Amino acid sequence: MTPVTNRRNFIKNTLMVSSGLAVGFTVGNVTRLFSVEAGSVSHELSPFIHIDTESNITLVNPNPDMGQGSIQASAAMIAEELEVRLEEVRIIPSDGQAKYDPQISGGSGAVRRSWEPLRKAGAAVRIMLLNAASRSWKIPLAECYAEDAHIYNRIDDRKFKYGDLVTLASTLEVPENPILKSKSEFKLIGKSHKRGDVIERITGKSTYSIDMQVPGMVHAAILHSPTILGKVVSINATEALKVNGVIDVVKCERTMPYTKFDAVAVIANSSWAAMQGKKALQVEWGDEGDHLSTQDYSEGLYAAADNPGALYSETGAFDQHFTKSRIKAEGLYESNFLSHASIEPMNGIVEVKDNGTVEVWAGVQGSGQIKDQMAEYMEVPLEHVKVNVKLMGGSFGRKSYHDFLLEAGMLSKKIQKPVKVTWTREEDISQGPYRAGSLSKLQGTVENGKITGLHHHAIGESIAGQLDGSPKVGEVDEGLGREIGFENNKYVLDHTKISFTRVAADIPIMWWRSVYAGSFAFGQECFIDELAHLGGIDPLKARLEILEDERYRLVLNTLAEKANYHEALPEGIARGIAIWKSFESISAACVFIVSEGQGVRVKKVVSVLDCGLFVNEDMVRAQMEGSIVMGLSAATKEEITYENGACIQQNFHQYELMRIHEAPEMETHIIANQDTPGGVGEPALPPIAPALNNAIFNLTGVRLRKLPMDLSNIKLN
């Protein structure tokens, strides 16, 4: 990274943050300021590090926390280099200002994106404090060292608190290239340590977005068309206005990245009154959305499979090779629409003020993104939007889609009050956006006991295509191509081909935990097993024979060792394996199932993850376990279906999730290395569904080709 702060600009920035110490580094095209507050005890929100003269330390987390632990991971990266303990610091979220960018929790990137800039921030400030101590004691810098928020004198054991030095440190040169610790020097990073926020969360003391209130606030419950696309024909608010606490009924709109839909809001003095008023509201909707059908969409996927897709990549000459091959197979695997179903439904507060400024209080995955979108939507300058980021009660991608906050902004502007919008569970599940349903058409060949060719034709709606119109129908989705391409999965074959067909959908879609990986790993890794069985090859051996990458091979061999892959299993028990790379991490799973009645039960899952360097081992394991449960739930229970324009599933009695008594034994293994950090929150999910399906085939001889898989009647299929 190239330092961009010279002494003159550094001092100028220092004065702007109340005599603070500021260190700038460039990430992409964004300059970040890392500041240490001096001469103040206000804990004023100003970039990543604040230390006042009383030695109170505040660290800023630029990666919104939705339960994955980024609040601690971000702080740990700074604290490691700053030489402070996490128990000694206060951690606050960033507020959407560009100096904190990218401010995104998504793509399993909280640690990956922040690994160098946050550590450099801590290291730079530590060096400046060391220099300040050296000058104060008039001793060589080498005779000073930092530990536990103090600078120590090696000669006579004198020490300074950080707050004693911050004023002097703020006048010194900014280190242009601070030396970072080696892995062997880490005290926090890579270790298991308890999260300081757990007790508050489980005792209900943490403040989530849904808990927020601001003075003068009113509540809004919004009625959307049951067919999503329907327009308002008429509104009868008579009964709704009779509900005690209801203030008004307002026509509004739901603004999505690719379109706008009509909606009607009930404004009240409490969320309960607003929701009761919504129940009493009578709205006649047009029939614009009556055509929406997941069955019709599915049929469109299979129809598209009969035609060539747009070519993403090819090695060799797959089509000619496939035609001439003697041992070959074709297979179709379908993934379903899924809701994010986070435990905290969509909610947030927006106030459009008389002076033209806009303030937002919400749990969002991208504080910078909502600031940009709100400014554009409300037609105000970016600097007129303030974002207060709150804890999220889950998200899995949904809270990077800000339709509910734009609704609140529109309503606040109309009624000139702060408006809190809270969606019900029914709205959350029935209105989307969702993980898109998709289809994998696969073709492959086997020669001399080895897989030699593979074509993956991915078919479905493109997230980017729906959000911004690119790719268009007939074009390749480059992001999807990279996900399933052979440069990612590393299978080395003589003949490969990746193609894509976009089947456009009006049903809204968005990133869902693991994005495309969770959908298309299912088909590809099931088909690898299918080819292995066709050629009479053990599935593990089949994969190892076409993998040259040492990291992949180590993950698979570790899985085989930890799962006792080569040991015979008792009758009625089987195992299946799968491997996938996503978000720069490699994950493999071995799923054990046992015969039970007319079906099977998942008995145990062994998961292996190579995510490079990581911050907190305990959090990595927690994310792996969460991915296993979510992967199994998505593979065996969850499904969104539309008929006659409306979503059939309305709440958890229809949109089933895995229950705690159904969770299998889980065993997680992390491969330790010094590679660049990869993702943690999502990569363990994609191998789960194919590993389960491969186990089902190994036990029953039945190869299922559509999600979700009903485990209760496998033998009847």
622 lies in a domain? yes
200 lies in a domain? no
Per-residue model confidence as pLDDT tens digits over 485-517: 998 999 999 999 999 999 999 999 999 999 999
Residues 6+ apart with CB under 8 A from 71: 61, 63, 65, 91, 93, 197
- Same domain (yes/no): 99, 216: no
| Angle, alpha carbons 466-472-473 (nearest 5°) | 100
Q: What residues of the chain score a pLDDT lower than 70?
A: 1-46, 715-717
Q: What tokens appear for 327 in the block? A: 């041992």
> How many angstroms separate the CA atoms of 616 and 714, rounded?
40
pLDDT value for 291: 92
Domain count, the chain: 3
Residue 678: left (phi > 0), alpha (psi -120 to 50), or beta?
beta
- Same domain (yes/no): 618, 565: yes
Choosing from 189, 223, 250, the residue where a domain stops is: 189
- Same domain (yes/no): 328, 477: yes
Q: Is residue 461 within 8 Å of residue 294, measured between CB atoms?
A: no
pLDDT value for 103: 83
- Same domain (yes/no): 141, 70: yes
Q: Which residue has the tokens 């379109």?
A: 259
- Same domain (yes/no): 109, 229: no
Bridge partners of residue 161, in order along the sequence: 150
Dihedral pair phi/psi, residue 70, rounded to 5°: -65, -25
pLDDT value for 682: 96
2 lies in a domain? no
pLDDT value for 170: 82
Q: Where are the alpha helices (DSSP H) in 507-648?
A: 516-534, 539-545, 550-562, 617-636
> How many angstroms separate the CA atoms of 215 and 209, rounded?
15
> How many angstroms separate the CA atoms of 435 and 461, rounded?
10
Per-residue model confidence as pLDDT tens digits over 515-525: 999 999 999 99
pLDDT value for 716: 52
Residues 6+ apart with CB under 8 A from 189: 76, 77, 80, 183, 613, 614, 615
Residues 6+ apart with CB under 8 A from 25: 1, 3, 4, 31, 32, 34, 117, 120, 121, 124
- Same domain (yes/no): 396, 438: no
Choosing from 189, 222, 247, the residue where a domain stops is: 189
> How many angstroms separate the CA atoms of 73 and 82, rounded?
14
- Same domain (yes/no): 417, 445: no
Dihedral pair phi/psi, residue 94, rounded to 5°: -70, 165
214 lies in a domain? yes
> How many angstroms separate the CA atoms of 697 and 591, rounded?
12
**From the DSSP assignment, how many helices (H) and strands (E) are in the chain?**
20, 28
- Same domain (yes/no): 494, 606: yes
Q: Is residue 292 within 8 Å of residue 307, measured between CB atoms?
A: no
Q: What tokens appear for 666 in the block? A: 């889980």
pLDDT value for 105: 85
- Same domain (yes/no): 96, 179: yes
Q: The CATH number of the domain where 383 resides is what?
A: 3.30.365.10
Reply yes or no: is the peptide bond before residue 140 cis, omega within 30 of 0. no
> How many angstroms separate the CA atoms of 481 and 484, rounded?
6
Tell me which residue range forms the domain holding 172.
42-189
6 lies in a domain? no
> How many angstroms separate the CA atoms of 416 and 419, rounded?
9
